[in-house]
Chain A
Amino acid sequence: MRATARVYWRLLAAGFRRQYAYPLAALGGLVANLTFGLLKVAVLFATVRAAGGELHGYDTASMSTYVWLSQGLLGSVSLTGRTDLALRVKDGQVAVDFLRPVDLQAATLATEAGASLFALIPRGLPSVLLGAVAVGLQMPTAPVFYLLGAVSLLLGIVISAATVYLIAVAGFWLIETRGLQILYMLASGFLGGLYVPIALLPHWLGIVAAATPFPSIMMYPIDVLSGLGGAGNAAGLVLAQLAWLAGVAAVGQLLTRAGRRKLEVQGG
């Protein structure tokens, strides 16, 4: 048990280290994050002001918190749906991955989570800090939000990796998964709260969004960290994330096993 845990811990650390080989890439991401952040601030502040200073519980201060937390998270959660694994499934190299004495899903998630956690250092925190300096933020004072927020952030990262994993293993049947990847990119951005907070969506679209794992990836961690809606609401959101993680991970495990059988039948 301890040996198994150590293997995945090593994979997590490897994912973390893989990223700091490319400091310029992190800087590039930060510049892009800040630019988009300032444009989002401009248009969302104007929307709040046009609505009379308050819109679905957001004023300009809490809207700024939303913008900069979402820009900070952008480097850590995958909203593009692209993975190396999808390419390995497509060209059959995944057969080599199956030979290793680790679970394919757990190993992939551990490596991705490591890379995502690293991205918080050069991209995530500076985005939030620079946003705070340039525009101003409203953060909660109670420590419970930071504790729950850290858990929620980690859950968001793993749920995003686990959902993208589903696209990759769908490749066992589809071979070319670009269509799914583009659908994921569109749906996760729109329903996950990348462009506007989910509260601003029309009521029916909000219900559609809640029926998908996408808000768990970005919107819920932001809501928990910013303390919007109080501690009870934050705890509820973390529970919802746990449920989504269990569901998405279970489907991923089933697809991996079925896909492996298909690969062996094909002689992979």
Chain B
Amino acid sequence: MASRAASAAAADNDPADNGTVAIAWPRETRPPETLGERLRPYRAVLASRARSQRAYRTSFALDLGSSALVGLVELAEVWVLFSNVTALGGMRFNQILLVFGLADLAFSLADLSFGHLDTLPDFLRAGTLDAFYLRPQPILLQLITSDVSLRRLARAAVGAAALGIGLVTAGVTWDARTAVLLPLALVSGYATFAALYVWAAGLQFFLLDGAEMTNAFVYGGRYAATQPASVWSRPLKLVFGFFFPMAFTAYLPTVTLLGLPAPDWLPAWLGWCTPAAAAWSWLMGLLCWRWGLRHYQGGGG
């Protein structure tokens, strides 16, 4: 108990308050102290969202099926190109499977957990965002944990399958280097795509009706991430290679992993810098979010 009071006091940055904390906060309304307690409301919301999606079994099965189909059609688009040529941008089909798999797996998981940030313009138009201000939790965290799209798991499975087939057929050597590079790329890729959703959401405060503009880098980014970046023109390399670091989510780690020749401006050692790309995306995403939230004047309710 003593340590709890001390930690609460430390959080308030006021050691003199030590004795009054327990009195000022009755047991029921005492602010949560441990991490587990802090996360409990988020866990409760997410669990209820997950339960509600599985409640109608047929509907959920259909959702899973259509989500898998989306992934398969996207893979088919890549396959159609390779049915005409043997190599594209210095990559064969089994090598591009690695790029597609890494990118689509990371994107689907980000879409699963962050994709509903896309609905922010609806909240803004209806004025319902104001309700989020009433709860003693950060607004971005509330929004992120307000939903989860379990059906995207099926699309993630398509990405994972493509990645698996790519890994087996493209002749990847299983050593310590691969064991570090691959998980690093996957986690960083997930974080990068998730940051793009936050980035886009921050801009929605200004765009409202122009929400489609951010599709250019969120969904355009996904499309770019599944391409061999070696085919890009220089402006594209600047935009999707570095500013929105899509080449870092899949192409660059694959080049590093397979030891392929790297194109201009995108040297192979960048494949190890995927966490830097994720950090940059989150920096920009959070800056835009902060900027947007300060711009917001409320729904007038």
A residues near B (Cβ < 8 Å) are 22, 24-25, 27-29, 31-32, 34-36, 38-39, 42-47, 50-51, 55-56, 176, 179, 182-183, 186, 189-190, 195-196, 200-202, 205
Q: How far is the CA of A189 from the CA of B217 in the complex (A)?
A: 20
Tally B residues with Cβ within 8 Å of A: 40
A46–B216 Cα distance when bound, in Å, is 21
* A182, B84: Cβ atoms closer than 8 Å: no
B210 touches A46 (CB 8 A): no
Chain A hits for B227, CB < 8 A? 39, 42-43
Q: Which residues of B contact A22 (CB under 8 A)?
A: 209
- Whether A28 lies near B85 (C-beta < 8 A) is no
Residues 198-239 of B, flagged 1 when their CB comes within 8 A of A and 0 if not, give 000000000111111111110110011001100111011000
What is the number of contacts between chain A and chain B, taking CB atoms within 8 Å? Answer: 104
Beyond A28-B213, A42-B227, 20 additional pairs, beta carbon < 8 A: A28-B207, A28-B209, A28-B210, A32-B216, A35-B216, A36-B216, A36-B220, A38-B236, A39-B232, A39-B240, A43-B81, A43-B227, A44-B81, A47-B85, A47-B88, A50-B86, A189-B73, A190-B77, A195-B77, A200-B81
| B87, closest chain A residue (CB) | A50
Nearest-Cβ distance from residue B115 to partner chain A, whole angstroms: 15
Interchain nearest-CB distance for A28 vs B (Å): 4
CB neighbours (8 Å) of A195 from chain B are 77, 80
User: In the assembled complex, how far is the CB of residue A52 from the closest CB belonging to chain B, in whole angstroms?
Assistant: 9
Q: With A46-B231, A50-B88 as given contacts, are A190 and B210 in contact (CB-CB < 8 Å)?
A: no
- Neighbouring A residues of B208 by C-beta, 8 Å: 24
| Nearest CB on A from B79, distance (A) | 9
- A28 pairs with B212, CB closer than 8 A: yes
B66–A39 touching, CB < 8 Å? no
Minimal Cβ-Cβ distance residue in B for A24: B210
Q: Which 4 A-B pairs have the closest CB atoms?
A: A28-B210, A28-B212, A28-B213, A46-B231
Which B266-301 residues have C-beta < 8 A from chain A?
none
Residue contacts A-B, CB under 8 angstroms, 13 given: A25-B209, A25-B210, A28-B211, A28-B214, A28-B215, A29-B212, A31-B212, A32-B216, A35-B220, A38-B233, A46-B89, A50-B86, A182-B69
* Segment 51-84 of B: residues with Cβ below 8 Å from A: 59, 62, 66, 69-70, 73, 76-77, 80-81, 83-84
A27-B213 contact given A186-B73, A196-B77, CB 8 Å threshold: yes
Most buried by B among A27, A39, A196, A200: A39
| A25-B209, A46-B231, A50-B88 known; A39+B223 contact, CB < 8 A | yes
Task: Report the separation of the CA atoms of residues A32 and B221 in the bound assembly, to the nearest whole angstrom.
Answer: 11
Closest chain A CB from B209 CB (angstroms):
4
Cα distance, A32 to B218, chains bound together (Å): 10
Contact residues in B for A29 (Cβ distance below 8 Å): 212
> How distant is A106 from chain B, measured CB to nearest CB, in Å?
29
B76, B85, B231: the one within 8 Å of A42 (CB): B231
A25 to B207, CA, bound (A): 9
Interface string of B72-116 (1 = CB under 8 A from A): 010011001101111111000000000000000000000000000
**When the two chains form their complex, are residues B85 and A182 in contact, meaning their CB atoms are under 8 A apart?**
no
Main secondary structure of the interface of B (DSSP, over half): helix
Given A27-B213, A179-B66, A196 and B89 contact (CB-CB distance below 8 Å) = no
A42 adjacent to B236 (CB under 8 Å): yes
- The residue in B207, B216, B240 that gathers the most chain A C-beta atoms within 10 A of its C-beta is B216
- B219 proximity list for chain A (CB < 8 A): 32
Contact partners of A50 in chain B: CB under 8 A: 85-88
Shortest distance between the CB of B63 and any CB in chain A (Å)? 8
Chain B residue numbers with a CB within 8 Å of A25 are: 209-212
Q: Which one, A42, A176, A179, A200, contacts B80 given CB within 8 A?
A: A200
- Contact pick for A51, options B73, B85, B210, B231, CB 8 Å: B85
Q: Which residues of B are found within 8 Å of A205, using beta-carbon distances?
A: 80
The CA-CA distance from A55 to B86 in the complex, in Å, is 13
Given contacts A28-B209, A182-B66, A196 and B81 within 8 Å (CB-CB): yes
Please give, as numbers and ranges, the residues of chain B lying within 8 Å of A190 by CB-CB distance.
Answer: 73, 76-77
B142-175 CB contacts (< 8 Å) to partner A: none
> Does the CB pair A39–B224 fall under 8 Å?
yes
CA distance A201 to B76 in the complex (A): 10
Contact present for B236 and A55 (CB under 8 Å) = no
Residues of B within 8 A of A35 (CB): 216-217, 220
Residues of A near B231 (CB, < 8 A) are: 42-43, 45-46
Asked if A46 and B213 sit within 8 Å, CB to CB, the answer is no
In the bound complex, how far is the Cα of B231 from the Cα of A38, in angstroms?
11
The answer to whether A32 and B80 have CB atoms under 8 Å apart is no
Question: Could you say which residues of chain A place their CB within 8 Å of the CB of B216?
Answer: 31-32, 34-36
Across the interface, which residues of A come within 8 angstroms of B228, CB to CB? 43, 46
Contact B84 A55 (CB under 8 A): yes
A210 to B69, CA, bound (A): 21
Question: Which chain A residue lies CB-closest to B85?
Answer: A50
- How far, in angstroms, from A25 to B240 measured CA to CA in the complex? 23
Chain B residue nearest to A199 (CB atoms) is: B84
